[in-house]
Amino acid sequence: MNVAVILAAGNSNRFKDTTPKQFQKFGDQMIVEYSINTFLNHSEIDEVLLLVPNQYVDLIKQKIKGCKIFVGGQTRQESSYIALENCPKETQNILIHDAARPFIDNEIISNCIKELKNNTAVCPALPCTDTIAKVRDSNIQQILNRNELYRLQTPQAFNFLILSECHKKIDKDVTDDISVIQEYGYDTKIILGSEKNMKITYKKDFEIIKALL
């Protein structure tokens, strides 16, 4: 059983608006609805879980059908754990996606599921093309080898049981689920992501999305 989790419980501090970016309208839908519909209509996804802030639960339950809706945590890590605890016991694979990436496509989802047959974790990514520098106090400390650097995207996909066990054991704060399993020595397979699968962080990103589409 393949379960998709869409994390939409963040407060979007950097977006600087009273309405979080995932609930902003883009075209005729909220941002979060685009990825929900993609996962719901994918032939290999059996169930979709949506994590939202407590104050948006009633509104989202009225507007969005076809997925299970839960109140998310204060952090991404807490929301992922809540999702894991509410997955069906038959779950084999879990794909965890950021609601702020509205244009995830079927090919990436299918490739994640395919690669999970032989890997514990899978993550779409794009290679860095710019020169990347490590900086301290506005001074360049080191030029990093861009051939070894990738921009990670979501969904991050996992063997459900392994991710669940790692979440239960970890006793530190991390920024994503890849970091959780890396704490226990598991590797992550990189697959090719997409420029359209960009994350909306600032209001100007809406214009970039329009141009990409």
Q: Which tens digit of pLDDT belongs to each residue from 171-195?
A: 899 989 999 999 999 999 999 999 9
How many domains does one find in the chain? Answer: 1
Span 2-7, mean pLDDT?
Answer: 98
Rounded Cα distance, 182 and 173, in Å: 13
In this structure, of 15-24, 35-44, 71-80, 94-103, the range with the lowest mean pLDDT score is: 15-24
Given phi > 0 = left and psi -120 to 50 = alpha, else beta, which region is 109? alpha
Contact 102, 153 (CB under 8 A): no
Q: Binning pLDDT at 50, 70 and 90, where does residue 16 land?
A: low
Which tens digit of pLDDT belongs to each residue from 100-156? 999 999 999 999 999 999 999 999 999 999 999 999 999 999 999 998 999 999 999
Contact 146, 128 (CB under 8 A): yes
Nearest CA to 111 out of 194, 5, 191 is that of 191
Name the residue range of residue 59's domain: 2-212
Enumerate the β-bridge partners of residue 94.
Answer: 3, 158
Span 191-211, mean pLDDT?
Answer: 86
| The Cα angle at residue 197 between residues 29 and 42, in degrees rounded to 5 | 70
Q: Which residue has the higher pLDDT, 205 or 157?
A: 157
Instruction: Give me the CATH number covering residue 79.
Output: 3.90.550.10
Helix axes 160-169, 76-85, angle to 10 degrees: 130
Rounded Cα distance, 84 and 156, in Å: 14
Q: Are strands 132-136 and 139-144 parallel, antiparallel or unpaired?
A: antiparallel
21 burial (CB, 10 Å; 0-12 / 13-18 / 19+) is buried
Q: What does the pLDDT read at residue 11?
A: 66
Asked whether the predicted pLDDT for residue 17 surpasses 70, the reply is no
Asked whether the predicted pLDDT for residue 45 surpasses 90, the reply is yes
Q: What does the pLDDT read at residue 108?
A: 98
Q: Which residue has the higher pLDDT, 123 or 29?
A: 123
Q: What does the pLDDT read at residue 159?
A: 98
